[in-house]
Each structure stands twice: as structure tokens, then as C-alpha cells.
Amino acid sequence: NLILKFLQLSNQPKLPPTAGFLYLSVCLYISFFTPIYNNPPQASVIRNFGPKKKGKKLEMAVAASASCIFCQIASKSTSTTILHSDEKVVAFEDISPSAVRHYLVIPVEHIPTVKDLQRRTEDFSLVTHMLEVGQMLLHRDAPQCTHYRFGFHQPPLNSVNHLHLHCLALPYTPRWKCVKFLSLGSLGFLEAEKLLEKLKPLPPVISKV
């Protein structure tokens, strides 16, 4: 098909030979790169909803929040002390702190794990906001610390199945707790900055046609 178009173009005497070649290059470029953009990264069943599934999604979210401890904290139906809350996120202290200061920042929406996030503006902004809240709280509450860490446990090694950003002002307490936050590639602790790189929307493809 492409070659046929190329030949048709090349046979037109009005066009210089370079025009046909340019056209072929552009076609090849588009056909080569388009499939990548047409296949978004694998998304969770819960979040990958069309307008039809919205009711179903809502049902699942309600069911999840009823049994999810972090959803209960986000809805402020527990006695947990809330360090920060806004329309998108809630922050509180980790129930068993591993460092001088150890906070969790969670989205109000029930998102199970980092695997449920996609490369798109919505998810990139959410994680950016979670990180900013975590940084703000640690800089406020542990200004004497020189080392901070922010990141996520990846399934299956995560604890609670509601996305939560661990915010640590080091050192670890006790020291051995550092093992919980080892970066072990796709299994270990994922630094927030690394996750943001994965979620950052790609610049649009500019076609010269």
C-alpha cells in the first residue's frame, strides 16, 4: 500500500523526486510510531472505565472503601491524627514508624497500587502533589534531618492495597528497618522521582505533513 502510493507519487512528473521520498518517510514514521501511542500502558480493571462502566466502578470503589483501612482514614472515620488533608490527598503518621519521622500520604480516591497508575496528566499530577505534601510535612516537622526518602512499595511486596507514599526523615529507627526500603528493581521500594519519570506524559508527536 505504502509502496504503491510511493510509486504513484514518483510517477507524477510535476513532483520532484524528493517529494515522494519525503512522503514515504513520513508515512513510515507515522505507521511505525502510531501503534505505541494507540496502546496505553496496561491499566487496572477498576480505573480503566468507560462511561458505561462508571456505575460498576463506583460500586467497586464503595465496596473497596468499606473494607479498606486507608479509605476509612481518608474519610476521617477513624481516630488517626490527620497531618494534612485536601480534596486530593490525606497524610498521617505510619502506624509503625521506621525512621525519625515516617509519614504516609495517600490519595483520597481508592487506587490500589503503583501498577494502577498510568502515564497520563491526571496520575502524574496526583503523585507530584503527594510528593509535595510529603516534602512540606517533613521539612516542617524534621528540619534538622539531612536525608529524606520518598517512595512506594511495589506489589506483591506492598502492605495495604491503597496507594501510599512513604515519607521518611532519616536515620531509620531502628537501623535494620532500612531493609524495608531497599530498591530491588521491579520488586523493591520505588523512589517517587522514578515513578514520576514513568508517569510523565510524553510530548505530542508533531507531524510535518
The interface region with Zn ion, picked from 1-9, 10-18, 107-115, 188-196 by CB under 5 A, is 107-115
Q: Is 101 in the site for Zn ion (CB under 5 A)?
A: no
Q: Rounded to whole angstroms, how far apart are CA atoms 122 and 125? A: 5
CB of residue 123 vs Zn ion: minimum separation in angstroms? 16
Instruction: Choose the catalytic residue: 102, 153, 164, 166.
Output: 166
The interface region with Zn ion, picked from 60-68, 85-93, 119-127, 194-202 by CB under 5 A, is 60-68
Q: Name the pairing type of β-strands 99-107 and 148-153.
A: unpaired
Between 68 and 170, name the residue whose CB sits nearer to Zn ion. Answer: 68
Cell 468507560 belongs to which residue? 50
Q: Tell me whether residue 147 is one of the annotated catalytic residues.
A: no
User: Are the C-beta atoms of residues 118 and 40 closer than 8 Å to each other?
Assistant: yes
User: Are the C-beta atoms of residues 173 and 100 closer than 8 Å to each other?
Assistant: yes
The interface region with Zn ion, picked from 4-12, 40-48, 149-157, 172-180 by CB under 5 A, is 149-157
* Residue in the shown chain whose Cβ atom is closest to Zn ion: 68
CB of residue 192 vs Zn ion: minimum separation in angstroms? 13
Among 101, 102, 149, 162, indicate the residue that binds Zn ion (CB under 5 A). Answer: 162
Q: Is 159 in the site for Zn ion (CB under 5 A)?
A: yes
User: Are the C-beta atoms of residues 119 and 202 closer than 8 Å to each other?
Assistant: yes
Q: Rounded to whole angstroms, how far apart are CA atoms 163 and 59? A: 19
Strands (E), the chain: 82-85, 89-93, 99-107, 148-153, 165-172, 189-191
Residues touching Zn ion, count (CB under 5 A): 7
Cβ neighbours, 10 Å, residue 176: 9
Between 110 and 149, name the residue whose CB sits nearer to Zn ion. Answer: 110
Q: Is 153 in the site for Zn ion (CB under 5 A)?
A: yes
Q: Is 70 in the site for Zn ion (CB under 5 A)?
A: yes
Q: Is 71 in the site for Zn ion (CB under 5 A)?
A: yes
Give the bridge partners for 89, in sequence order. Answer: 107
Phi-psi region of 76 (alpha: psi -120 to 50; beta: other; left: phi over 0): left
Residues forming contacts to Zn ion in the complex (CB under 5 A) are 68, 70-71, 110, 153, 159, 162
